[in-house]
Amino acid sequence: MWLNNELLNYADSRRHIFYYAMAILQVADSSKLPTVLDREADYISTLPDVTEKEMLLISKAYRELAGNTAKAEAVDKQIAVRFPNGMKAKGKEDVSFF
């Protein structure tokens, strides 16, 4: 599987194909998803130049692919701290406005 090679051999690609790779893994071998998702999420979230979008995709993967809302909420808290003026924060402001 070419995604496996990308994840293992090309570190820069990992962050760009993360969500898609996790979605395919969920279908192909869901028993491996928790381990691989944790590993890849840890790698991406500790990058010095991680973006809010990448963090949102990590949260989405935990919530929608792994069904792990506790980890998704933990990532959401990290997003709120790291990106206090980001998309997620603005979304909360819009909701609280109404």
What is the pLDDT at residue 41?
96
Phi and psi at 86, nearest 5°, equal: -85, -170
Q: What pLDDT score was predicted for residue 14?
A: 86
- Count of structural domains within the chain: 1
pLDDT tens track, the chain, 98 positions: 566 676 677 777 888 899 999 999 999 999 999 999 999 999 999 999 999 999 999 999 999 999 999 999 999 999 999 998 888 777 764 433 33
Residue-level pLDDT at 12: 79
Distance CA 13, CA 2 (A): 12
Quote the domain boundaries for residue 68.
2-97
pTM listed for this prediction: 0.84
CA-CA-CA-CA torsion sign (9, 13, 17, 19): positive
